[in-house]
Structure 1
Amino acid sequence: MVENFDPRQRTKKVVVIMPAYNAEKTLERTVADIPREWVDEIILTDDASQDRTVEIARKLGLRVFVHEKNLGYGGNQKTCYREALKLGAEIVVMVHPDHQYDPRVIPDLILPLLRDECDAVFGSRMLGGSALEGGMPKWKFLANLFLTALENAAFWVYLTEYHSGFRAYSRRYLEQVKYELNSNDFVFDTEIIAQGVIHGLRIREIPIRTRYFPEASQIGFWRSVVYGLSIIKTVIKYKLHTWRIWRQEQFT
């Protein structure tokens, strides 16, 4: 339990990464909720925002990296992980700066990693059934269930969700998988799970709540359709690789 763990006794460096794009309205609130006694550094990578995200991040004292052109959500994560590992991070926590996920549960997210009980911990909106209560549109909820069932069947694991952006990885996880070969788009999140599974890395989930409100970043219906199709493509590539029909470098 977190209550029985003193964060001052941590022996592992914890770095929060924030892949940001046009987050000026929610960044300050998100950073304010990060429990700083559990975190050593915060990195924000700005993906060519057109607002004051970079200015606010620097004012808050974050370590800021700026893309000159927009690389996409997956491309942003790649920079975040690369820079976090350069800083000597032993645990990397991804926090979206749109305040959709509650950073105050970071201790629950990283405690299993601090205790070497697993290699990654994912926050799941589906555990505990709080997704709809938090305002997730019903069509997204149903699509999430379908895609998760498909991914579980393909990867031979059981997770309640593959699509949450609130995650923590060990250094071992990030150094073992070839995340640089993944998509620069949203399907990056599924690809990095598939890579972990094929390498036998241990994944755990904790229940989290989510908030849907106008300033929270989210993709619309047609963008979600493209996302769903890209997941199906990833599943096919994964199976072809594991069946030794078509070798995929990203899964080696």
Structure 2
Amino acid sequence: MPATLLTTPPLEPTRPEFHVETVLSPTADASRRKHKIIAVLPAYNAERTLAATVADFPPGSVDEILLVDDASRDGTAEIARRMGLSVIVHEKNVGYGGNQKTCYRYCLERGADIVVMIHPDYQYDSRVIPHAVGMIELGICDVILGNRVRSRAEALKCGMPWWKYVSNRGLTVFENMALGQNLGEFHSGFRVYRRSVLETIPFEGNSDDFVFDTQFLVQAVHFGFRLGDVPVPVRYFDEASSINFRRSTKYGIETVKTVSQFWLHKLGLVKSRLFRPNQAT
């Protein structure tokens, strides 16, 4: 991995003096990225919101955009191809977690240093990408999540269903306490990962369903990676994807189960395959 992608924040409290012009007018080499960033869009029936999601990507913020179409019934893949995205199409639906596995395998094979995962339903603000990536580049975090719940009033005003808000808050408080973290939200569809995170976590053995996301974050904590978040605007509207109350309830139960597995494994009571080191590392 290039030296420009820091693993720890720099700490040089004493430096020789220099002219401020070197900060105000940096050279072209100083501002040019020296590592590879790939954005992945795990998609299912996203034809109406795909273009809007990609249009908000700041120019030059990523080197490649991959869309993995999970056997959509609409024109998602065709639109992605016309837009010039890299496209992989699953012949049959493998689930949200299974879709992400394809995304991350591709990124590792293509030599990505940083991976941005964002849902193509326009629920998350793509303009935040450079700022989230910057937290990885500076060595402050290894994983960054977009936090949709900056405040209760904002979340509800922007359309988040009250039951989804309550469950999100409850699960996040539980996960923060159980995992020793301080995230604003554990259930975001906007995430940025350092390559070493994907190389270390045995994500291929995770669920193919929505709980994949929870398993991945719990694994990241287990393997000692640093988690952080950045606020993103809340966007709920008819075209935005959202799992229903029944699926959300199942997801909540699976989340509690996953965190319980973390502690049972940590205490040495029940060993879980979720926390076996990736054999590829």
TM-score greater than 0.5 by the shorter chain:
yes
Q: Does 1:212 align with 2:236?
A: yes
SS in 1 for 2:155: coil
Bigger shift: residues 122-131 or 96-105: 122-131
Q: Equivalent of 1:155, from 179, 182, 202?
A: 179
Correspondence 1:181-196 to 2 at 5 A: 181-196=205-220
Q: Does 1:44 align with 2:85?
A: no
Q: Distance in 1 between matches of 2:270 and 2:256?
A: 16
Bigger shift: residues 12-21 or 130-139: 130-139
Q: What is aligned with 1:143? A: 167
Bigger shift: residues 65-74 or 125-134: 125-134
Bigger shift: residues 40-49 or 147-156: 147-156
Change (3 A) 1:52 1:4: farther
CA shift at 1:40, angstroms? 0.3
Q: Using structure 2 for the length normalisation, give the TM-score.
A: 0.85
SS in 1 for 2:228: strand
Q: What is aligned with 1:116? A: 139
Q: Equivalent of 1:97, from 103, 117, 120?
A: 120
SS in 2 for 1:19: strand
CA shift at 1:36, angstroms? 2.9
Correspondence 1:61-76 to 2 at 5 A: 61-76=84-99
CA shift at 1:55, angstroms? 0.3
Q: Equivalent of 1:21, from 25, 34, 44?
A: 44
SS in 2 for 1:16: strand
Bigger shift: residues 118-127 or 50-59: 118-127
Q: Does 1:232 align with 2:262?
A: no
CA shift at 1:128, angstroms? 4.6
Q: Distance in 1 between matches of 2:77 and 2:105?
A: 19
Q: Does 1:132 align with 2:156?
A: yes
Structure number with larger C-alpha Rg: 2
The residue type equivalent to 1:237 in the other structure is Q
Q: Using structure 1 for the length normalisation, give the TM-score.
A: 0.95
Gaps of at least 5 residues in structure 1 are none
Q: Distance in 2 between matches of 1:27 and 1:125?
A: 19
Q: What is aligned with 1:11? A: 34
Q: Distance in 1 between matches of 2:140 and 2:45?
A: 36
1:58-117 Cα deviation digits (max 9, x unpaired): 001111011111111111011001101111110000111111111011111101112222
Change (3 A) 1:126 1:97: same
SS in 1 for 2:156: coil
Bigger shift: residues 128-137 or 9-18: 128-137
1:113-171 Cα deviation digits (max 9, x unpaired): 12222211111112355322321111111111111111122212221210011110000
Bigger shift: residues 232-241 or 166-175: 232-241
Bigger shift: residues 226-235 or 124-133: 124-133
Q: Distance in 2 between matches of 1:94 and 1:236?
A: 26
CA shift at 1:8, angstroms? 4.9
Change (3 A) 1:84 1:36: farther
Q: Equivalent of 1:33, from 26, 33, 56?
A: 56
The residue type equivalent to 1:245 in the other structure is L
CA contact (8 A) 2:44 2:69 kept: yes
- What value does the CA root-mean-square deviation take over the aligned residues? 1.7
CA contact (8 A) 2:201 2:216 kept: yes
The residue type equivalent to 2:72 in the other structure is S
Aligned length: 250
Q: Distance in 2 between matches of 1:45 and 1:36?
A: 22
